[in-house]
A and B are shown apart, each in its own frame.
Chain A
Amino acid sequence: MVDSIIASASVIAAAIAVGFAGIGPGIGQGNAAGQAVEGIARQPEAEGKIRGTLLLSLAFMESLTIYGLVVALSVLFLFFINSNYYPNL
């Protein structure tokens, strides 16, 4: 009984972790991509440089979400490993 409560709590915690971690980087990536499009529209000859910089900075923002994912995975699997209560994947 306690096990199942902890299991459901950790699943919900993982969902919250990854969900909230997605919000900020989403806004940031949207801003960055919008500005990049604006820059390309204003100066089409600089497209290559802008694309390179954009991809690099998008990957940096992406890693913030990934931190949330790592936390979610550790919340999920650490409990399941320690308790022999495997999810039926």
Chain B
Amino acid sequence: MSTILISKIEVGSHLYFNFGDSLHLHGETVIVSFLVVLAVSLFLAISTNNLQRIPGQLQSIAETIYDLVKSIALTQMGPSYYSRFLPFVTTIFLFVLGSNVAGALIPWKLFEIPEGELAAPTNDINTTACLAILTSLTYFSAGLSIKGIGYFKRYIKPAIFFLPLNIVEDFSKPLSLNFRLFGNVVADELTVTVICSLVPLIVPLPVMMLGLFASCLQALIFATLAAAYIGEVIE
């Protein structure tokens, strides 16, 4: 059955890049995320290379993205601090958007690799965990650098017995960010795969469109939440 279908479910098989005894990288994730980073950087470099007063196509796309991300950061963090964290939010947004769209649009299954299969980098829980941990590190350092030692007063608000809850919240925030992005991407791919195995033609198309839409929405949500967590700390 799996020979007929272009897409098949493979669980737990990866193309490993081994460095020494203890360092194993998931090759397919590394390859695709490298490509995504390359594509996003190229797009940004080309579109902002020759800035015109009347923007061309690429420049107007870049300006739309900038306006969107700026409005997210501005509403979540307020006018005085948003410009400091705008690059971080933009990076997260563009990377997640790029990798989700790459996973949804490019037929990776056509490229054979020795083991595992190419897919969206956010399909690997390590990528999303890394993004979530980066977000928590950023809001820690933002709070410490802006509020100094007074940052820790946040933990005993609104009362002293909220301390354990606030500490647990610090762990549950990256966990929920991680699972939200990973689960959504995997759920899209699984739905498409299951429907493809039932009806391989035409019927999966609307589901794929829904998946593409949901992927774009997830990038927006990840960026919004990252900005909201930072804004919550520094307000």
Interchain CB contact under 8 A, B217 and A63: no
- The number of chain A residues touching the other chain, given as a range, is 10 to 19
- The complex places the Cα of A62 from the Cα of B217 at a distance, in Å, of 11
Interchain CB contact under 8 A, B183 and A63: yes
Question: Could you give 20 example pairs across A and B, Cβ below 8 Å?
Answer: A56-B217, A56-B224, A59-B217, A63-B180, A63-B183, A63-B184, A63-B221, A66-B179, A66-B184, A66-B187, A67-B179, A67-B180, A67-B183, A69-B183, A69-B186, A69-B187, A70-B179, A70-B182, A70-B183, A73-B186
- In the bound complex, residues from chain A placing their C-beta under 8 Å from that of B141 are none
Chain B residues 190-235 with CB under 8 Å of chain A are 190, 197, 214, 217-218, 220-221, 224
- The complex places the Cα of A57 from the Cα of B208 at a distance, in Å, of 22
Name A residues whose Cβ lies closer than 8 Å to a Cβ of B.
55-56, 59-60, 62-63, 66-67, 69-70, 73, 77, 80-81, 89
The distance from the CB of A56 to the nearest CB of chain B, in whole angstroms, is 7
Given A59-B221, A69-B183, A70-B182, output 13 extra A-B contacts at Cβ < 8 Å: A56-B217, A56-B221, A62-B214, A63-B176, A63-B180, A63-B183, A66-B179, A66-B180, A67-B179, A67-B183, A70-B186, A81-B11, A89-B197
- The complex places the Cα of A79 from the Cα of B190 at a distance, in Å, of 18
- The number of chain B residues touching the other chain, given as a range, is 20 to 34
- In the bound complex, residues from chain B placing their C-beta under 8 Å from that of A56 are 217, 220-221, 224
- Shortest 8 CB-CB distances between A and B: which pairs? A66-B183, A63-B180, A70-B183, A81-B12, A77-B11, A59-B217, A89-B9, A70-B179
- In the bound complex, residues from chain A placing their C-beta under 8 Å from that of B11 are 77, 80-81
- The complex places the Cα of A77 from the Cα of B10 at a distance, in Å, of 11
- The complex places the Cα of A68 from the Cα of B94 at a distance, in Å, of 27
- The complex places the Cα of A60 from the Cα of B217 at a distance, in Å, of 10
- In the bound complex, residues from chain A placing their C-beta under 8 Å from that of B224 are 56
Interchain CB contact under 8 A, B12 and A60: no
Interchain CB contact under 8 A, B214 and A59: yes
- The complex places the Cα of A69 from the Cα of B179 at a distance, in Å, of 10
- In the bound complex, residues from chain B placing their C-beta under 8 Å from that of A59 are 214, 217-218, 221
